[in-house]
Chain A
Amino acid sequence: MEDTQHISSAFDKDLAELNRKIAKLGQLTQNQFARALEALLNYDLTQIDEIVAHDKRIDELESKLNEDALTLIALRSPLAADLRRVIVAVKIATMLERMGDYAKNIAKRIEWVAKGDVVDVSNTSIKSMGETVQHMVQQVLEAYMNADADTAMQVWLRDVEVDQMHKTIFQELLQLMGDRPEHVTAGSHMLFITKNIERIGDYATGIAEQICFLVNGFMPEETRPKADETDHKG
């Protein structure tokens, strides 16, 4: 990630360890999200307990990363790009941990959705929305590892696609629940699930902004395009 070496090689090792933990956190979060989506699309209730249990590993790793960052700041007194790297690592770790929480939350709602069989009610595919967000997460984590602000900004711009899909699914689910009250319970859980997927996409764009700050020293100056400024009131 960084060509120039510090005079203190221990400093380089500490920063490398921070990156290693971010990579691991990213991998765990991606796995959790992929499993939650797969379980949702297949109504696979056997995966749920494991997904919920695995969230603890993400929480523990985030906590360890925070401790590492605290120690690094105290012992190495990072400045300039190094300081940005430590701060950004902590912020990204927090976002990945939250993304893991959303994956867990999706898993916990699958049983209710399965009862109503509402995954495929929308014309806009949940599968498609999930895959779009998965790709964004993968792309933004690669951008972080490569300190690639351009790729990060591509992810940042893609959030509008996810917002648009979410908006459509939201409205269709409201329509369904209005027309067929027996689907209100499952539909409500589905609303939360789509919102969770959309929030994971938001965090991917949040990570993209942090990469921009890491590389350039500034957050993106433009306003991120939005598909919907309302609160999905249908």
Chain B
Amino acid sequence: MTETDKTVKTHKTPEAEDRVKIKARRVNVFYGAAQALFDIDLDMRLNQVTALIGPSGCGKSTFLRCLNRMNDVIDGCRVEGDIYMDNQNVYDETLDVVELRARIGMVFQKPNPFPKSIYDNVAYGPRIHGMTQNKEQLDHIVKKSLRRAGLWDEVKDRLSDTGSGLSGGQQQRLCIARAIAVNPEVLLMDEPCSALDPVATAVIENLIHELRQRYTIVIVTHSMHQAARVSQKTAYFHLGELIEYGDTSDIFTRPQHEQTEAYISGKIG
């Protein structure tokens, strides 16, 4: 058995049925001398939500940040291995990282709207990427993005208000609108609901369900039930290793690995 064979795979669907959007192979991450991820092999499929779960410090957020090279900005962080999006190596040195991060958008744990108006928050990306020729086109993108983020009806009459004046749930949807304004192919979400109340969480989860029709989504969550509700595939990480990956419906009813079972059942040892 090779190192990479250790992950238990409970994926029942024939691989050919689902197109892989992002493919990670033998990904190792180091923070200085400390290794945070060990030989991670993981496929994230087109128009599916892949949930990354595991206890604090297991490496799931580190892995998520590898996907759009957010780890590049962390001093002392070194990433080895290969990550491909549509067969293009994300770590190709000739790749424009800014363009990559437009293609792979990210939503963080705490809503982080820019200290600007609602309109300018969404328009920011299209402006810096030169996506529009005129105000009319920009208006169209802002409206479309806010609609897709399920926020338009709530803010259409106050687009010039500051984004930070919105509720937590609305701010998070504003951040999602900002991310999708630049036409990404993939959305990374790092505990996007952990600062939200149950109603705002339900709205975001419903939005994730709708967004996956257009985007491939990878979400880190500490909530087992959120992972079960929103994802089609689940990957369980423990101490930097990918322990088990499979259909979410299998992982939460009949996990194959005892560590997965213990974690999702809230058991000791």
Chain A residues near B42 (CB-CB < 8 A)? none
Give CA–CA (A14, B32) in the complex, Å.
Answer: 46
Contact A4 B228 (CB under 8 A): no
- Complex Cα gap A84–B254 (Å): 8
> Is B264 an interface residue, CB under 8 A from the partner?
yes
Residues B253 and A217 in contact, CB atoms below 8 Å apart: yes
| Interface of chain B residues 89 through 104 with chain A (CB within 8 A) | none
Q: Is the CB of B266 within 8 A of A81?
A: no
Whole-angstrom distance between the alpha carbons of A114 and B261 in the complex? 55
Which one of B252, B255, B260, B265 lies within 8 Å of A6 (CB-CB)? B265
- The reply to whether the CB of B268 lies closer than 8 angstroms to some CB of chain A is yes
Beta-carbon contact of B266 and A80 below 8 Å: no
- A77 contacts across to B, CB distance below 8 A: 224-225
Q: Which of B253, B268, B269 has a CB less than 8 Å from the CB of A83?
A: B253
A11 touching B266 in the complex, CB below 8 Å, given contacts A79-B228, A80-B261, A81-B261: yes
| Chain B residues bordering chain A, tally (CB within 8 A) | 16
Question: B201 → chain A, closest Cβ, in Å?
Answer: 15
Distance, CA A6 to CA B261, complexed state (A): 11
* Cα(A78)–Cα(B261), bound, Å: 11
Residues of A within 8 A of B224 (CB): 77, 79
B70 at the A interface (CB under 8 A): no
Which of A4, A84, A218 makes the CB contact (< 8 A) with B267?
A4
Residue A8 at the B interface, CB < 8 A? yes
A7 is an interface residue with CB less than 8 A from chain B? yes
B262 CB within 8 Å of chain A: yes
Q: Which residues of B are at the interface with A, using a C-beta cutoff of 8 A?
A: 224-225, 228, 252-255, 260-262, 264-269
24 A-B pairs with CB atoms under 8 Å apart are A4-B262, A4-B267, A4-B268, A6-B266, A6-B268, A7-B266, A7-B268, A8-B266, A11-B266, A77-B224, A79-B224, A79-B228, A79-B252, A79-B253, A79-B264, A80-B253, A80-B255, A80-B261, A80-B265, A81-B265, A84-B254, A216-B254, A217-B253, A217-B254
| Besides A11-B266, A79-B264, 18 new A-B residue pairs in contact (Cβ under 8 A), listed by A number | A4-B267, A5-B267, A6-B266, A6-B268, A7-B266, A7-B268, A8-B266, A77-B224, A80-B252, A80-B253, A80-B254, A80-B261, A80-B264, A81-B261, A81-B265, A83-B253, A84-B254, A218-B254
